[in-house]
């Protein structure tokens, strides 16, 4: 498996791996439909969680058998993925029979295929505080054989701050999408920490954005199904069926917490990080919580 590990490459000014650029032309020419819903995130920000919520809201009652038979990565294709032995995300998305189609991307905003904007698609962006996002991404890169070698924690810590991770700088990603929200009204910007704090409340907000009005019982049912422990033991949600991941190194559903960064950052790293963060994150309207 180790031979699959790619190098980090610079692509249109963003650090990427070839697994997400090899199908570039096809992905850029993807034909979005007006009812498509794009779930956009920086990696490890809560993509799977929100994908599962949306899938249950739309299809949990009309098509319950999909919950026990189709892994989440097939229900919600990862548009730009192009890895040998795994179906290309663009092809999976083209073959989706559902309406709406739920589609996942980790692209920074400037890489999103233009048809999503032309069709005025609804977009759900999920952001997670940088410290926990970094820790989660580190463990993911350790266990995922189609990600570049993460190296040791201290090396990774600096690489993350320099934007040298696949899909580039966290700072540019969350800020770029935040800025887009000011001009594109069909974008719902959510935070992982808010979901942890009150999943039901966040599902209500999501439904409001999507024009759905499920009953309070239905919202609670969905919130219960997507609790961390339930998703962790659900083989259709926990990625255990995907061969490129080595769960002996770290599980996909790892901790699911706000504040795990405290178990990784040294006092000196935390100081260095906070000073650098202030220099990079200039917009006071975009605030993250690192504990709740």
Q: Which residues are catalytic?
A: 106
Peptide bond into 244 cis (omega under 30): no
Stretch that binds ligand PPS, among 84-92, 182-190, 210-218, 251-259 (CB under 6 A): 251-259
173 interacts with ligand PPS by CB under 6 A: no
What part of residues 118-137 is at the interface with ligand PPS (CB under 6 A)? 132, 136
| Site size toward ligand PPS, by CB under 6 A | 20
Bridge partners of residue 10, in order along the sequence: 15
Which one of residues 22, 260, 272, 276 is an interface residue with ligand PPS (CB under 6 A)? 260
Nearest Cα to Cα of residue 253 among 143, 89, 130? 143
Least distance CB 43 / ligand PPS (angstroms): 4
Stretch that binds ligand PPS, among 23-31, 158-166, 217-225, 252-260 (CB under 6 A): 252-260
Nearest Cα to Cα of residue 129 among 37, 262, 229? 262
Distance, in Å, from the CA atom of 174 to the CA atom of 99, rounded to the nearest integer, reads 28
Nearest Cα to Cα of residue 90 among 168, 146, 25, 40? 25
Distance, in Å, from the CA atom of 264 to the CA atom of 278, rounded to the nearest integer, reads 20
Do the Cβ atoms of 146 and 19 come closer than 8 Å?
Answer: yes
Q: Which two tokens stand for residue 4?
A: 């699959």
Least distance CB 210 / ligand PPS (angstroms): 19
DSSP state of 258: S
Do the Cβ atoms of 166 and 15 come closer than 8 Å?
Answer: yes
Residue closer to ligand PPS, measured from CB, 164 or 254: 254
Residue closer to ligand PPS, measured from CB, 209 or 228: 228
Nearest Cα to Cα of residue 130 among 280, 285, 239, 27? 280
Least distance CB 263 / ligand PPS (angstroms): 11
Residue closer to ligand PPS, measured from CB, 106 or 122: 106
Burial pattern 220-253, b for ≥16 Cβ within 10 A else e, equals: eebbebbeeeebbebebbbbbeeebbeeeebbbb
17 interacts with ligand PPS by CB under 6 A: no
Which one of residues 90, 131, 139, 173 is an interface residue with ligand PPS (CB under 6 A)? 139
Residue span 23-62 as binding mask against ligand PPS, x where in contact by CB under 6 A, dash where not:
------------------x-xxxxxxx-------------
Residues lying near ligand PPS in the complex (CB under 6 A): 41, 43-49, 132, 136, 139-140, 226, 228, 231, 253-256, 260
């Amino acid at each position: 498996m180790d031979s699959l590990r790619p190098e980090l490459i610079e692509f249109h000014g963003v650090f990427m791996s070839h697994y997400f650029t090899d199908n570039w032309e096809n992905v850029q020419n993807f034909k979005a439909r007006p009812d498509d819903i794009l779930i956009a995130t920086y990696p490890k920000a809560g993509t799977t969680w929100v994908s599962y919520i949306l899938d249950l809201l739309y299809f949990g009652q009309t098509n319950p058998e999909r919950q026990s038979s189709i892994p989440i990565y097939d229900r919600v294709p990862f548009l730009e993925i192009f890895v040998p032995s795994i179906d290309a995300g663009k092809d999976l998305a083209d073959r989706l029979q559902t309406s709406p189609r739920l589609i996942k991307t980790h692209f920074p905003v400037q890489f999103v295929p233009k048809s999503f904007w032309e069709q005025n698609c609804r977009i759900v962006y999920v952001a997670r505080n940088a410290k926990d996002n970094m820790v989660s991404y580190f463990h993911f890169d350790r266990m995922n054989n189609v990600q570049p070698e993460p190296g040791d924690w201290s090396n990774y810590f600096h690489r993350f701050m320099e934007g040298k991770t696949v899909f580039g700088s966290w700072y540019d990603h969350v800020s770029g999408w935040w800025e887009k929200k000011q001009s594109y009204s069909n974008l719902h910007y959510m935070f992982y920490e808010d979901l942890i704090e009150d999943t039901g409340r966040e599902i209500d907000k999501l439904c409001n954005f999507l024009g759905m009005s499920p009953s309070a019982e239905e919202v609670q049912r969905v919130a219960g199904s997507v609790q961390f422990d339930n998703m962790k033991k659900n083989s259709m949600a926990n990625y255990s069926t995907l061969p490129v991941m080595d769960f002996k190194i770290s599980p996909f559903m790892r901790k699911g917490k706000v504040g795990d960064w405290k178990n990784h950052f040294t006092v000196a790293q935390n100081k260095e990080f906070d000073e650098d963060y202030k220099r990079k994150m200039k917009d006071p309207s975009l605030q993250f919580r690192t504990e709740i």
